Structure formats: structure tokens, C-alpha cells
Amino acid sequence: MVDFLVKYPRLGRLFDLFLPLLATLAALGVGAIMLQLLGANPFVAYSALLKGAFGSQNALADTIVRATPLLLVGLGICIAFRAGVINIGGEGQFIAGALPATLLGLSFPDAPAIVLVPAALMFGFLGGAVWGSIPGLLKAYFNVNEILSTIMLNMIAVQMMNFLLRGPMIDPVQLQAASAIPQTARLNTAFDLPRWIPTRLHAGALLAVVLAFVVYILLWRTTIGYRIRAVGFNPAASRYAGINVKRNIVLALLLSGAFAGLAGAVQVYGVSHRMITDGSAAGFTGSAGFNGIVAALFGKLHPLGTIPAAFIFGALIVGANSLQRAMQVPAALITALNGLVVVFVVSSDIFSRRLARRRQIGVAEPGSRGAGEQGSGGGGEAAAGGDHWPAG
């Protein structure tokens, strides 16, 4: 099959574009078998999933709200992965952005919303940037594996959140009631992001879509973006060309963390209006830091592709909850279904990379017989990241 797709490159690129969607359908097919084994009708179950995600105005709004943090985290993942570094620290960076944004709102409850809300979002962006820059510096200057460092920083961020929400930042009402629920006080209602009443859809969703176009311009229309992608494609060649590889690795992880931190601030000011947790990262983040990685891979690590990818995953998360309520299936099945989607999408990305390598080999072979420039031109196209999406 790979040879057939390499032989017909246009068909191969079309297949490559829809491969994540096919992988998701395959995962849902395996999920249908699991539902059948549990005695549930798969058709009725998936009908409940679709109705829960798109069946009403409120359902559609909830899907978009759930997709918003996935999109913001996914944008950061696109930047990091394009630089050749793997950011698994979205959960910690999400928290590191939410904490200073929340603290600002609690410290100045009477400040004008038109001033405080943008400042809080900026605090979230900067908080995530600081947390993302730590593994960037460790990777660039001490060759510390960024996968390990970002995961460890997730744990540190969670424990820092637990300490603050059970101590200095705890809601005074909870403290007086001796219930000690780890949450902050509710932010001033004036600080709530503009909302489409009567739904929960807030302005953060529009901000995320706008930023997707900003990231696209950054990566494909600026010298900074070109350097980031060049470092990811070939660090040695980039260094030879005069690009500061270490600086761009730090910058990529810094920006990746910044977008995850902004997602945390948007979640607080747009959805929860306070920080609350059950002691785990997912208790506050909803696993957006991890699901954002899958959304980015689903979107072929392209900012504009991450928009529909995040929407699809938001629909799966919201719809899966509706499926569980309608079919009375164990909660573990929903976790397994989400896990299947993750495994299939990541596997499809591996297949896509294999197909891209075979395609490059097919381009390089004619060049080795007398047109050497064609081979180097193919490499330039790959360095520009144009293998999945047109640069223009």
C-alpha cells in the first residue's frame, strides 16, 4: 500500500491528510466491539455520543468550550514539535499559567475588568512561558532529555497547586467551614470572559482561533519561524548555516509553555472562575495538557489543522460523557475509548512519517542520477514544513 501511495503522490498526500480521521474511525470501530461485549448497542451508543456533542445549542457550545484549551495547548505543541523537541509538560504549564492569573484576580478584585482581564491572560502566558523555558534551558545547555524534565515539572506544578489551594490561596469560606476543599475564592463576576448567553461559550474560543492564525504566520511567514523549523529538520545543517540552535530550542519550548499557560488562564476566567482541584493535575486541567498533544498530531502539527482537530476531540470528550450516561456503561470504558483514539492517531502519525520518508526517497533517486538539485530542493520543502499543508 505504501508503494502505491508513493507511486501516486497526489493520492498519497490526500490519504495523508485524512489519515487521522480514518484512525479515529478505526478506534471507534474497536470501541464498538467493546460496547457490544458489554451488552450495549454500538449504534445507539454512538448516536448518544453525537447527540451529546452536537444535539443542541448548549451541546455544541460545550464542545467548543472543551476544545478551546486543547487548541491553545495544541498550538504550543506545534511550535515545539516543529523545533524537534517533545513537550509533554502541558499539564504543568497549564497550571503554571493559571496560578498567577488567578492570584492577580484575587489580589485586585475591584480593578477595572478591561485592564485586569487582559493583564491576567498575559500573566498566564508568561507563567507558562517561564515553566516551559526550564526544560528548554536544560535541553539546550545541559542535554537533559526534555521528555523526562517536562514530566517531572508536571509533578512539581501539581504539588505547588495543591499546596497553594490548601493554604495561602484557599477560599476563606472553605477555611471557616472546616471543609477545606482545595479551591480558591470565586473571582469577581466582572472578570468573567464575555459569554454567549445562555450557553457557556466564551470569548476565549475566538481568541484561540485567532492565535492559531498568528502561530501559522509566525512559523511560515517569519524568519523566527523558519529558524525554528530548520532546527527541527536538521540541527547540524542549521548550526552550519549560522542559526543559534540552542536559542531556538529554548524559544520553542518557551512559546509552547506560554500557550499552555494561556490555556490555563482562559480556563479560569472563561469556565471555572476559580481554581479547584481534587489533588491531581486532571482535577483542574481535564487532561488538556495531554489531549492537546493528540489534537496537534491529529492536525498534522499545523496550527490551522489543529483547529478542526481540537474541535473533533472536544466533541469526543463531551459526547463520551453523554454516551456513558445514556448507556450506563462503566466510566473505565470511556477512558479506554479515549485511549484507543490516542493510540490510533499517534500510530497514524508514525505511518504518515514513514510514507513521507518513502516519498522523499522517491524524489531523491532521480536526483542521484544527474539532477542533484532536485534532492536538495526536496529537503528544503521538508524543512519548510510543507509536506502536509501548503505554505501559502
Residue 125: exposure state from Cβ atoms within 10 A (0-12, 13-18, ≥19): buried
Residue range 316-374, pLDDT digits in tens: 999 988 898 888 888 788 888 888 988 898 888 788 777 777 777 766 555 554 444 44
Query: What is the structure's pLDDT at 4?
Result: 66
Question: What is the pTM (predicted TM-score) of this model?
Answer: 0.88
List the grid coordinates of 358: 518513502
Alpha-carbon distance of 230 to 234, in angstroms, equals 6
In 3D space, the residue among 49, 80, 207 whose CA is nearest the CA of residue 150 turns out to be 80
3-state secondary structure of 195: strand
Q: Which three cell numbers stand for residue 97?
A: 499559567
Instruction: Name the grid cell of 183.
Output: 479551591
More confident residue, 51 or 6: 51
> How much is the average pLDDT of 213-234?
97
Sorted by sequence, the CB contacts under 8 Å of residue 273 that are 6+ apart come out as 186, 187, 189, 191, 192
Mean per-residue pLDDT of the chain: 89
Residue percentage of the chain with pLDDT more than 70: 90
Nearest Cα neighbor of 382 from 351, 357, 362 is: 357
Q: How many CA atoms lie within 13 A of 16 on its CB side?
A: 26
- pLDDT tens string 120-129: 999 999 999 9
Question: Is residue 17 predicted with pLDDT exceeding 50?
Answer: yes
Given a cut of 80, whether residue 148 has pLDDT beyond it is yes
> Which is more confidently placed, 126 or 175?
126
110 three-class SS: coil
| Rounded Cα–Cα distance for residues 23 and 336 (Å) | 15
Measure the CA dihedral 325/329/335/341, to 10°: -90
Q: What is the pLDDT of residues 233-252, one digit of tens each?
A: 999 999 999 999 999 999 99
Provide the residue type at 228 as one letter: I
Phi, psi of 11 (to 5 degrees): -65, -35
Q: What angle do CA 64, 182, 278 make, to 5 degrees?
A: 60
Burial of 160 (0-12, 13-18, 19+ CB in 10 A): middle
| Dihedral sign from CA coordinates of 138, 91, 81, 355 | positive
